[in-house]
């Protein structure tokens, strides 16, 4: 687990051309390691989604970008949708309300894997099983509104990985869900990422949620990367006052993480 997937160096990002606009990210340097689960933690507006958009090449036109993002093991930039899958906070925004969910999941596989609809629907069916949607055969033909919020997020996850991306970005993917469903979705993501050997960027404001799941953590504040390291090291011995306060305020270290780890150290 030591190949570097992506190197980010001195990355500064300002939206729009207005030089007086505060930077959304300032001088961020960070490596993403192949196969790892990296949690990006920070309060609202700290630059987490901006980092994800920059990595995925999805910043809006006119954004000023300084610094470098390199993919050392790739000959071309990863393609969003094909090489990078996304799961967002609100599954209703990523699912089309008037298309059956089977078609929506199959479409990613068909378009990006160069296969026909029949094979793509087989992938969709398999994914509906894997994300544990009840009666998957029937569910293929159902519409998003026929599912619960947690189920819709499972369907959005299936759609995000149907083209078999090697890198998955989950941006506040569980924030809109209640705690029990949050833990289920995190556990599902954990399972899928392990099974598919994906690298994952897990963006959240919830350190407790990330603590049982991520390998490493990067903590952002006001566009700065204030601390990064293996999650256990950061939790046990935070180096900055900000990380210490986050841990003190948001994480009761005496309680077990929401998702169990199989390899206690």
- In the complex, the residues that contact ligand ATP under the rule CB under 6 A are 15, 24, 42, 44-50, 60, 205
CB of 101 to ligand ATP, least distance (A): 26
Q: Return the number of the residue (58 or 237) whose C-beta is nearest ligand ATP.
A: 58
- Considering only CA atoms, which of 192, 227, 241 is closest in space to residue 213? 192
Collect all residues with Cβ–Cβ distance below 8 Å to 189 and sequence separation of at least 6. Answer: 87, 157, 168, 170, 173, 200, 202, 213
Q: How far is the CB of 253 from ligand ATP (least distance, A)?
A: 24
Report the residue number, 15 or 143, with the smaller CB distance to ligand ATP: 15
Shortest Å distance, C-beta 16 to ligand ATP: 6
CB 170 within 8 A of CB 200: yes
How far is it, in rounded angstroms, from Cα 228 to Cα 231? 8
Helix H segments across 140-240? 149-161, 179-196, 207-211, 231-236
Least separation in angstroms between residue 242's CB and ligand ATP is: 14
Residue corresponding to tokens 């026909």 = 116
Residue 48 or 154 having the CB closest to ligand ATP: 48
Distance between CA atoms of residues 69 and 43, nearest Å: 24
Give me the least distance between CB of 40 and ligand ATP, in Å please: 8
Which lies closer to ligand ATP via its Cβ, residue 41 or residue 155? 41
């Amino acid at each position: 687990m030591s190949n570097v997937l992506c190197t980010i160096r001195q990355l500064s990002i300002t939206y729009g051309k207005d030089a007086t606009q505060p930077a959304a990210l300032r001088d961020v340097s960070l490596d993403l390691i192949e196969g790892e689960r990296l949690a990006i933690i920070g309060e609202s507006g700290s630059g987490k989604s901006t980092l994800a958009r920059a990595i995925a090449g999805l910043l809006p036109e006119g954004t000023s970008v300084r610094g470098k993002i390199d993919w050392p093991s790739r000959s071309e930039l990863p393609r969003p949708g094909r090489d990078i899958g996304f799961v967002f906070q609100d599954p209703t925004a990523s699912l089309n309300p008037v298309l059956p969910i089977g078609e929506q999941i199959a479409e990613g596989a068909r378009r990006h894997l160069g296969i026909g609809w029949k094979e793509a629907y087989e992938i969709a069916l398999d994914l509906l099983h894997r994300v544990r949607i009840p009666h998957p055969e029937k569910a293929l033909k159902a519409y998003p509104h026929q599912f619960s919020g947690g189920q819709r997020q499972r369907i959005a996850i299936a759609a995000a990985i149907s083209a078999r991306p090697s890198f998955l970005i989950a941006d506040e993917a569980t924030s809109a869900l209640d705690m029990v469903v949050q833990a289920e979705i995190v556990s599902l993501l954990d399972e899928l990422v392990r099974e598919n050997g994906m690298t994952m960027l897990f963006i959240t404001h919830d350190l407790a949620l990330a603590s049982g799941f991520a390998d490493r953590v990067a903590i952002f504040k006001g566009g700065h990367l204030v601390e990064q390291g293996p999650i256990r090291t950061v939790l046990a011995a935070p180096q900055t006052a900000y990380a210490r306060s986050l841990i003190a305020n948001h994480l009761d270290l005496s309680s077990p993480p929401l998702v169990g780890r199989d390899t206690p150290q």
